[in-house]
Structure 1
Amino acid sequence: MTGHRKILIVAYPAQGLLNPSLRFAKRLLNMGVDVTYSTSLSAIRCIDEKTTPHGLTFSPFSDGHDSGQQPDTTLQQFVSDFATNGASAVAEILSFATAAGQPFDHLVYTTVAPWAALVADAHGIQSTVLWCQSATAMDIYYYYFDGYQGLISSNNNNPIFPINFPGLPPLIIADLPSFFLPSNANENHFVISLLKDHVDALKLSPTILVNSFNELEPESIRAIEKLVFLPIGPLVPSEFLDGKESLNNSSGEDFIKIPAEDDYIQWLNTKPKSSVVYVSFGTLATLSMDQIEEVASGQLECRRPFLWVIRDSLSAERLSKIDLLKKQGMIVNWCSQAKVLCDEAIGCFLTHGGWNSTVEAVVGGVPMVVFPQWADQAKNGKMIEDVWRTGVRVRKREGDGMGEGREIERCLKMVMGDEKMKRNAEKWRNLAREALNNGGSSTINLQAFLDDL
């Protein structure tokens, strides 16, 4: 029985966490759960009322940045302020609900908000993390703080040094999350501290709701006995599962307010099946102008039509061969990635390899060229190329890490012409959708989570 359960979701205000956590909230609502969603005021203001899940209650709070993160605010300060102000606000939400005779049964918190587990525990409420990276990434973080920190730290200047974690695929230093590598040491120290807070919070509850599915990461899910992974993903728009017609008549379930739709869908409709390269490097990565020029060169030499998302329109207009690019493809500053990856015209996804993008490509059955930028993206690229075999990684130039145009061209041509890779992508697409069907592994796992509350 799942009805009459009352769950509070606490979400860090980043688009890569808001969308999956709102999709999770929508699934809970559809199962009869009473859901309250708490995040910053600035994030709530960005949520589109037209796509908000029916019945969802919002409980926003000020994190001290009511206009969102500003250019002069460091990520460390922004995360710290969200934690400090959020802990007070969530404590108040829990206390008020209890005093009103309508206490919460459970608290679910997203990645980057491990402090919420401590607040819940102080109020006698169980909590569970909604982990919006892969199970493999969580395993690596756990192992790092459980005896592997010295080995990694003493060899992090050797990118090919092998790291063998029990139960995980063979890795090298270059495959590990960027936070363990020597560059950006100050930022890495702050993020590593945050990751340790996440691992420590698992001592209160070892259950991890992960945006993955059993079939995608079977070894990683079972690798560490002390952790209980419940894959309940992929957390993708529900329209992904209903066919192209349903998706074309929707927003693609982007809960964040979006610009008026451009004509990119109509443009895609004029292209042959599997002929277009979709290019996007996420909402956080910022490429240098030189790197953008190399990406452009690779696409021009590949001679395939492309749909390229460049968020900074000034950078797009500064491209040296902008006229040639506009003849060959289409450049936009935003698109609904869900819609695009479901479009039959898409034959390849040139991506940074963020987990949300990876999962959406898996569900869309789209092969990938991965050009990792930071965080867990190198590890995701490793899985895509060597484990799931649905793509290849861009080999970066030694010294500056540049992805050269000729290398990008090589990767695009390889993926677009590899029939076996396309069949693998189709296989994972089918398994992902089966996991979300009635009787599928992710549906069963979510029901088990609610039954155990």
Structure 2
Amino acid sequence: MERTTHILLLAYPLQGHINPLLQFSKRLVSKGVRVTFVTTTSIGNSMQALPSHSISIEIISDGSENGKDSESLDAALERYKLHVSQSLAKLIEKHNSSQYPPKMVVYDSFMPWVLDIARQFGIDGAPFFTQSCVTNAIYYHASHGAIQMPIEEGASISLPSIPSLKIDDLPSFLCDKGLYQALLKLVLNQFSNILEANWLLCNTFNELENEVVNWMTSQQWRVKTIGPTIPSIYLDKRLEDDKEYGLHLFKPDVDACIKWLDTKETHSVVYTSFGSLASLGEEQMDELTRGLKNSNCHFLWVVRETEQKKLPLNFLEETSEKGLVVSWCPQLEVLAHKAVGCFMTHCGWNSTLEALSLGVPMVAMPQWTDQPTNAKFIVDVWKVGVRIKLDERGIATKEEIELCIREVIEGERGKQMKMNSIRWKELAKEAVDKGGSSDKNIEEFVAKLAPS
């Protein structure tokens, strides 16, 4: 097959942003598109592990080689923008004089300025949103002053097409503005040229966020859902060899995890992971270890190497019969394993989509950024989990953790959550399967770019 339509995809250098774009690249390749995946020097070394036979990889400078440890987040983001703007322009120039000049740059929505660079070279650009449509809508309303800051404790926020939200349902950047000023600016700037783009690609599926997607469309946003972007083997199985993301910033202990799970009964294990960034305080770690222990369930717990010193002395010996602690694991394989009965999660969007796509109910323990909003929807809208309530110190106590685990694994509500999870799993598969909502959107995207 002659691949004449060429698309560049530019990822933001965080694992949770790279993986969805990488999976979207594989879908594009399956539709006959020539794909060049562009990442930057700060993460480029980890990209060598990619199955590059169908996707070309280019690494451009983001200035990280000149970055200083002491630089502020503001300065780091400015340096990133300056260097990526320059090196992306050079890359487009190089490809423009090749046999297959690019038709389009798909770029992470955190970099809205890429649209201007692309159009300077006569090609189009499309932002790719790696967070939920609900989170994006909330940030959009905030960027237009529809959410009054500071938000009073106990106040309810009403926004079109979104259930009423309390302060602890909002993305944390909106609540702790002083703490996250540079990051708040980054997420609000995503919408600076939203109406200029001909495509807004979102890592979700229509059925999951129907009301918000309809609202976005009513605002003249050219929104197209193309997710969930998880490997095809877990969904429609139409992409050969698409068994994993292909990029690990941490090395997973595959054998240990799967062999251990194989010895456990169906739906008996609590899988616990808080992602690649979250860091729990020592007091919280202590409560979590006790909660897992007291639940009397088997548990598989991912504790990154940098976090393991926070585990209580003797915890590993005392729980060796019941639990397995690993520094990283193949999350999709674990969630797909029949032994797993629930997922205690920080509710990052990728983890949330993975659990929904694999039919696993959740115990939600959000930490920051978009996670509180995802937790609200997990519990109240999709009805596939419970949310751990924090005490007056902001700590999830061992009693609360035990209670939530038992409710999902053993309780009556847990059975209903499991049934709801299976329904979302089927809808996720349908969305990406032939003729599904996401599949049709990708087909349409490719058809518009194809030479007539």
Q: Same fold (TM over 0.5)?
A: yes
The CA deviation at 1:41 is: 2.2
SS at match of 1:104: coil
CA distance in 2 between partners of 1:412 and 1:58 (Å): 42
1:429 counterpart = 2:445 = no
Change (3 A) 1:281 1:54: same
For the Cα contact (< 8 Å) 2:8–2:38, is it kept in 1? yes
For the Cα contact (< 8 Å) 1:310–1:316, is it kept in 2? no
1:330 counterpart = 2:329 = no
Q: Which residue in the other structure is 2:38 paired with?
A: 38
For the Cα contact (< 8 Å) 2:275–2:348, is it kept in 1? yes
Q: Which residue in the other structure is 1:387 paired with?
A: 381
CA distance in 1 between partners of 2:156 and 2:116 (Å): 36
The CA deviation at 1:59 is: 1.6
SS at match of 1:79: helix
Q: Which residue in the other structure is 2:437 paired with?
A: 441
Q: Which residue in the other structure is 2:270 paired with?
A: 277
The CA deviation at 1:276 is: 0.2
Task: Pick one of 122, 144, 150 that aligns with 2:142.
Answer: 144
Q: Which residue in the other structure is 1:208 paired with?
A: 200
Give the letter aligned to residue 223 of structure 2: F
Deviation readout 1:389-432 (Å, 9 max, x if unpaired): 0001111112x311111111111111112111110011101111
Change (3 A) 1:186 1:422: closer
CA distance in 1 between partners of 2:248 and 2:68 (Å): 18
The CA deviation at 1:288 is: 1.0
Question: Bigger CA drift: 387-396 or 251-260?
Answer: 251-260
5+ residue gaps, structure 2, are none
1:177 counterpart = 2:162 = no
CA distance in 2 between partners of 1:370 and 1:70 (Å): 36
CA distance in 1 between partners of 2:18 and 2:424 (Å): 25
For the Cα contact (< 8 Å) 1:48–1:256, is it kept in 2? no
For the Cα contact (< 8 Å) 1:26–1:53, is it kept in 2? no
CA distance in 2 between partners of 1:55 and 1:66 (Å): 29
Question: Bigger CA drift: 389-398 or 223-232?
Answer: 223-232
Give the letter aligned to residue 124 of structure 2: Q
State how 1:74-153 maps to structure 2 within 5 Å. Answer: 74-100=72-98, 102-149=100-147, 151=148, 153=149
SS at match of 2:195: coil
State how 1:55-66 maps to structure 2 within 5 Å. Answer: 55-66=54-65
Q: Which residue in the other structure is 1:366 paired with?
A: 360
CA distance in 1 between partners of 2:279 and 2:71 (Å): 16
CA distance in 2 between partners of 1:286 and 1:212 (Å): 26
State the number of aligned residues. Answer: 441
SS at match of 2:420: helix
CA distance in 2 between partners of 1:392 and 1:285 (Å): 20
For the Cα contact (< 8 Å) 2:334–2:340, is it kept in 1? yes
CA distance in 1 between partners of 2:48 and 2:403 (Å): 40
The CA deviation at 1:186 is: 4.3
For the Cα contact (< 8 Å) 1:3–1:31, is it kept in 2? no
SS at match of 1:18: helix
Deviation readout 1:350-387 (Å, 9 max, x if unpaired): 00000000000001100001111111100000000000
CA distance in 2 between partners of 1:227 and 1:250 (Å): 31
What is the aligned-residue RMSD (CA, Å)?
A: 2.4
The CA deviation at 1:65 is: 1.9
SS at match of 1:39: strand
Change (3 A) 1:272 1:242: farther
CA distance in 2 between partners of 1:421 and 1:215 (Å): 18
The CA deviation at 1:452 is: 2.5
CA distance in 2 between partners of 1:42 and 1:442 (Å): 31
Change (3 A) 1:31 1:63: same
For the Cα contact (< 8 Å) 2:253–2:326, is it kept in 1? no
